[in-house]
């Protein structure tokens, strides 16, 4: 007998289902896209148990006849291709795989009625077995109910995450589709609770509603044409950023996509105006002639191939940079994290090297006190600064800051661009320090040391802060409330879509609670529910440290610069920030001579 055999139709369908429907969010996406293709003006999505137990999508589209119902559950049956060349695809769906794939892996029921029919019809598919079409009651449009997802493919089901995590993925899918179709009213329910409801809106209103009030307050429009290409939409000022690209919605010809060409273009456009490791918030709509892109790359249809990717990159980068230029010219804030907090004065853990005295410099603070507070520091002469600060009475106040072998980072000379500290070491080397990156590491290590010592010291807020967040972010933070309390962050749920913050880690000073919570929620979104915080503790502390550190663009007094250098010398891992960037560069005499062609 031949060792090669044809697989049964049901087995083929279950294999194909794994490509198209890998989790409830994928099934949700396919069903909502079908509703949009059907011309619906209202779509209601309901999920129970994260969509694993039950997923229902109801629309008021054109509906299907009894004959069409019988065909729609067969593989590669579709009403959306006008020809078979796959060149000018103008619908969201076209492969004819979604419904049969869902029917092969779950219990599927479709009830539909056209506007001129006197009754609806229903068809059921269970594990690939199709029942006959039967008459039923129902209003115009289509109602699809999916139960027991992956009951017929248990190997796939055991790889699903918890219902909460699966619901979050499904919610993200619905939000992106709602962003792509503001002319359609959307309603999303999770376990009987309304997560969001959006009426028919103008695009700007829909984007503002889904991005949230913080982002909506700094939205900048973009609208440009280049030949047959057009880009429109909204981007947020660099004043508001996120820790991950989760808030970037990219829509091509009405289709939400996760395209590396577009994501890279957004990153490049913002590269010079936001901090490293931060991500812009955008909602961009790109219109491309259908024959200039290929959407038939993957069954999920979220990846594209552009015929002229270079032209697309150029359009996105150029239009975003011009929009950002207009925004900053109108006085938009351009700091990456909102208002700069006062520089805290934490009690940093001491890691003095053996044989080295502890440096008695004052702790970092916004306004140093005492006679050293407002010195006439010799900024004007690098030649004088290289000496042990002997000339002049004011310089003698800084004899403790003189270059010394005990202090490898040397004595501060000046601050450049309100971001970088210039210092001179005892051997004459030039030292450059990134003040934000350096202080971020100091704050990180201070929190980490306190954590290892039994718990991070918290500072109760005089007035508890209320932070509005999406329901998914609230759930993630509340689920980790006990872990966060050990990090000095005390919070609790405060009604629907809000968090009440009672205390912050003392080492963070007067940082704002809102941006910090949003970043922590993003950090937790990448963690499985089963992952203990200790396994990712450095990542969480890094998010907190970033918000508690002095910002680039903030002027520092000489005593503050000196204190920063001294604490860097006594802090482990101080050569890099929490994100791996260098905090300090040192140019020796040989390095400088090479740069000037003297060697």
pLDDT tens digits, 299-317:
565 677 888 999 999 999 9
Question: What is the reported pLDDT for 363?
Answer: 39
CATH of 9-201, one of 3.40.50.2300, 3.30.565.10, 3.30.43.10, 3.20.20.70: 3.30.565.10
**Strongest mean pLDDT among 279-293, 316-330, 452-466, 534-548:** 279-293
Q: CA geometry: angle at 505 spanning 503 and 506, to 5°? A: 100
Contact 205, 177 (CB under 8 A): no
Question: What is the reported pLDDT for 233?
Answer: 96
Please provide residue 100's backbone torsions phi and psi, each rounded to the nearest 5 degrees: -65, -30
- Domain boundaries in the chain? 9-201, 206-329, 381-599
**Average confidence (pLDDT) over 191-211:** 93
Exposure pattern of 14-36 as b/e (b: 16+ CB <10 Å)? bebbbebbbbbbbbbbbbbbbbb
Please provide residue 158's backbone torsions phi and psi, each rounded to the nearest 5 degrees: -70, -10
At residue 401, does pLDDT exceed 80? Answer: no
At residue 60, does pLDDT exceed 90? Answer: yes
Contact 39, 92 (CB under 8 A): no
288 vs 88 pLDDT, higher one: 288
At residue 535, does pLDDT exceed 80? Answer: no
Spell out the residues 6+ positions from residue 142 whose beta carbon is closer than 8 angstroms to its own. Answer: 34, 35, 38, 58, 59, 61, 63, 64, 110, 111, 112, 113
**Which CATH architecture does the domain made up of 381-599 adopt?**
2-Layer Sandwich (3.30)
For residue 2, what are its two tokens?
């031949």
Percent of residues, the chain, with pLDDT higher than 90: 33
Question: What is the reported pLDDT for 534?
Answer: 62
**What's the pTM?**
0.64
Range scoring the smallest mean pLDDT among 23-27, 62-66, 379-383, 451-455:
379-383
Question: What is the reported pLDDT for 569?
Answer: 86
**Average confidence (pLDDT) over 543-567:** 80
pLDDT confidence of 90, banded at 50, 70, 90? Answer: low
At residue 438, does pLDDT exceed 60? Answer: yes
At residue 462, does pLDDT exceed 90? Answer: no
369 vs 31 pLDDT, higher one: 31
Question: What is the reported pLDDT for 307?
Answer: 87
SS3 at position 188: strand
Phi-psi domain of 100 (left: phi exceeds 0; alpha: psi -120 through 50; beta: other) = alpha
Q: Which fold has domain 206-329?
A: Ribosomal Protein S5; domain 2 (3.30.230)
């Amino acid at each position: 007998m031949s060792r090669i055999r044809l697989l049964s139709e049901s087995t083929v369908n279950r294999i194909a289902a794994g490509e198209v429907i890998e989790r409830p969010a994928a099934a949700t996406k396919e069903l909502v896209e079908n509703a949009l293709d059907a011309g619906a003006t209202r779509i209601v999505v309901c999920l129970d148990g994260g969509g694993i137990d039950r997923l229902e999508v109801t629309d008021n589209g054109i509906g299907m006849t009894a004959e069409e119902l019988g065909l729609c559950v067969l593989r590669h049956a579709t009403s959306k291709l006008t020809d078979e060349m796959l060149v000018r695809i103008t619908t969201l769906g076209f492969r004819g795989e979604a419904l049969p794939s869902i029917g092969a892996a779950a219990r599927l029921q479709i009830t539909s009625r056209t506007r001129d029919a006197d009754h609806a019809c229903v068809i059921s598919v269970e594990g690939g077995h199709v029942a006959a079409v039967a008459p039923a009651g129902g209003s115009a449009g289509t109602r699809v109910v999916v139960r027991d997802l992956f009951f017929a493919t248990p190997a796939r089901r055991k790889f699903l995450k918890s219902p909460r995590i699966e619901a979050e993925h499904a919610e993200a899918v619905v939000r992106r589709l709602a962003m792509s179709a503001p002319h359609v009213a959307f309603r999303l329910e999770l376990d009987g609770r309304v997560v969001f409801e959006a009426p028919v809106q103008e695009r700007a209103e829909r984007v503002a509603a889904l991005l949230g009030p913080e982002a909506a307050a700094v939205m900048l429009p973009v609208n440009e044409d280049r030949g047959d290409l057009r880009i429109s939409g909204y981007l947020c000022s660099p004043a508001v950023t996120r820790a991950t690209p989760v808030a970037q919605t990219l829509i091509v010809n009405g289709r939400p996509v996760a395209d590396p060409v577009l994501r890279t273009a957004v990153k490049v456009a913002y590269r010079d105006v936001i901090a490293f490791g931060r991500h812009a918030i955008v909602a961009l709509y790109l219109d491309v002639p259908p024959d200039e892109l290929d959407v038939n790359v993957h069954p999920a249809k979220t990846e594209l191939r552009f015929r002229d990717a270079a032209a697309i990159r150029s359009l996105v980068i150029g239009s975003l940079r011009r929009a950002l230029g207009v925004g900053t010219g109108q006085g938009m804030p351009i700091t990456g994290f909102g208002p700069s907090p006062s520089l805290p004065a934490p009690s940093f853990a001491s890691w003095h090297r053996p044989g080295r005295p502890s440096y008695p410099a004052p702790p970092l603070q916004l306004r140093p006190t005492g006679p050293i507070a407002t010195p006439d520091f010799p900024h004007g002469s690098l030649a004088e600064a290289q000496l042990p600060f002997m000339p002049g009475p004011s310089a003698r106040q800084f004899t403790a800051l003189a270059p010394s072998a005990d202090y490898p980072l040397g004595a501060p000379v000046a601050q450049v661009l309100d971001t970088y500290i210039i210092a001179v070491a005892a051997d004459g080397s030039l030292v450059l320090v990134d003040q934000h990156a350096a202080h971020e590491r100091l704050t990180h290590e201070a929190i980490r040391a306190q954590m290892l010592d039994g718990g991070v010291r918290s500072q109760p807020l005089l007035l508890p802060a209320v932070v509005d967040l999406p329901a998914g972010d609230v759930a993630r933070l509340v689920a980790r409330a006990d872990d966060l309390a050990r990090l000095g962050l005390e919070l609790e749920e405060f009604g629907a879509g809000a968090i009440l913050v009672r205390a912050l880690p003392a080492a963070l000073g007067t940082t704002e609670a809102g941006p910090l919570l949003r970043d922590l929620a993003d950090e937790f979104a990448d963690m499985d529910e089963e992952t203990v915080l200790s396994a990712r503790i450095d990542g969480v502390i890094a998010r907190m440290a970033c918000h508690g550190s002095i910002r680039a663009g903030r002027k520092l007094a000489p005593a503050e610069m000196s204190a920063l250098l001294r604490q860097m010398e006594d802090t482990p891992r101080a050569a890099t920030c929490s994100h791996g960037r260098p905090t300090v560069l040192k140019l020796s005499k040989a390095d400088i001579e090479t740069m000037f062609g003297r060697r």
